[in-house]
Structure 1
Amino acid sequence: MNEADVTGLDTPQQVARVRNRRGEGGRLREDIIDAASALLDETGDERAITLRSVARRIGIAAPSIYRHFPDQPAIMLAVVEREFAALADHLREAAQHAGDDPRERLHALGRAYLRYAQDHPGRYRTMFGGLWMPTLGDNSLTEEQLTGLGAPALRILADALADCAAAGQSTVTDPELDAVTLWISMHGLAHQYAVIRIFPWPAESVADAIIARVAKLTSR
């Protein structure tokens, strides 16, 4: 994607920006990420996030962005990294509030994951590819940067599964693998909730059923 392809999507809004004092360059980087996130929330279209639209949003010249980001995909990566960090914080908070029982913490994580996807549909879609995921080699991104996305959140899930196993509440023997399996299952459910309006959902919680089966939870 190049900027010429999406000029018509640039947002005309521009604000006057106070020049950063010496040593405040990091603030501009955060302002760039904030502007990109705001554009994503407002438009729901990742194509609206270009160097020009972001620069216009915060009142700077587009070339100033290059001091912090080499290209548009690098900005999008920063937005997605921030969102995965927010998801991890959301999951940690849910686990803490669930108490000491490992089974309850695992179910709380599943509910929290679905709630995050429902509360932030645009950002959630972008986190998992959306339209921004570029072809490696055409930009500054590396395979390591992309494959490492979401690792802290996945670690929380794996630790919760390991806790269930240690407490005799689960028969899983590979929490790392089962965490990936459970994540993919919950992701699929979140997607179905988002796109299907008419479906004979069972009265019982589908999320709880997925967790019980994938996590191999034992009877109480």
Structure 2
Amino acid sequence: MSTSDGNLRARLVAVGVDLLSREGTRALSLREIARQAGVSHGAPRRHFPTHQALLAAIAREGYHQLGQQVAEFIRTAPPDPYAQLLGLGRLYLDFARTNRGMFELMFRHDLLRGNGIGLREASGALFGVLVDLVLAARAEAADARPASVTAGALWANLHGIAELWQWGSLQTTVRTEDVETLLRAALDAHLGPAKATRTRAT
């Protein structure tokens, strides 16, 4: 790949990321991305054989950004694994709130299926962090389930909170504006309240 080809690929992705942050997923047509990148509508095909492949490359930037935030958090987080899970949950919910378009794109099932972009690997790496923290947090608990199962259930819970909170459904149904309460309830449900009592003031 020539330098100019590499620059075009990067520019298309960067334009897509910017367009997504400003106008949401509906704005990400192949034609509009090409127009804002200053190239013909057929030019993206040289690097992305399908529209989905380009969208997957844009979504991968979201995983990269979230991965950097997670790595920095883990590097500076307190040693207690429950406190780390609590902080990680806060980070996840905040990322969903401040990157709504990207968050939606990152978890589209049709993009996670392949496209040669590596979204499954990016998602799997972040999930591995969650599994390790769950394993450490419940080290003293008599739980025969694999840590990956508990982590998967917790992730689904956090993702559901993020989605329903953005839609306003939880605030209306649960009658609270305190998402922290819901986050702690999710951790208690999957790890047990005994773990939570150590860090109630965190």
TM-score normalised over the length of structure 2:
0.81
Amino acid at match of 1:33: V
Identity %: 25
Amino acid at match of 1:154: F
> Aligned-pair distance for 1:57?
0.8
* Equivalent pair of 2:78/2:84 in contact (CA under 8 Å): yes
In structure 1, what is the equivalent of residue 107 of structure 2?
128
* Equivalent pair of 1:37/1:79 in contact (CA under 8 Å): yes
Question: Structure 1 residues 202, 38: CA separation in 2 closer, same or farther (over 3 Å shift)?
Answer: closer
> Aligned-pair distance for 1:133?
3.5
In structure 2, what is the equivalent of residue 177 of structure 1?
149
Rounded Cα–Cα distance in structure 1 between residues aligned with 2:132 and 2:193? 15
Q: Deviations over 1:1-38 (max 9, x none)?
A: xxxxxxxxxxxxxxxxxxxxx53422221111111112
In structure 1, what is the equivalent of residue 132 of structure 2?
159
* Equivalent pair of 1:102/1:160 in contact (CA under 8 Å): yes
In structure 2, what is the equivalent of residue 104 of structure 1?
83
Any gaps of 5 or more consecutive residues in structure 1? 1-21
Q: Does the residue aligned with 2:194 lie in a helix, a strand or coil?
A: coil
> Aligned-pair distance for 1:50?
2.4
Question: RMSD of aligned C-alpha atoms?
Answer: 2.8
* Equivalent pair of 2:60/2:119 in contact (CA under 8 Å): no
- Between Structure 1 and Structure 2, which shows a larger proportion of helix residues? 2
Rounded Cα–Cα distance in structure 2 between residues aligned with 1:43 and 1:68? 24
> Aligned-pair distance for 1:145?
5.6
* Equivalent pair of 1:171/1:218 in contact (CA under 8 Å): no
* Equivalent pair of 2:21/2:102 in contact (CA under 8 Å): yes
Greater radius of gyration (CA):
1
Q: Is 1:201 aligned with 2:181?
A: no
Rounded Cα–Cα distance in structure 2 between residues aligned with 1:100 and 1:90? 17
Rounded Cα–Cα distance in structure 2 between residues aligned with 1:180 and 1:74? 26
* Equivalent pair of 1:73/1:141 in contact (CA under 8 Å): yes
Any gaps of 5 or more consecutive residues in structure 2? none
TM-score normalised over the length of structure 1:
0.75
Question: Structure 1 residues 214, 91: CA separation in 2 closer, same or farther (over 3 Å shift)?
Answer: same
Q: Deviations over 1:38-60 (max 9, x none)?
A: 2222222x342222211211112
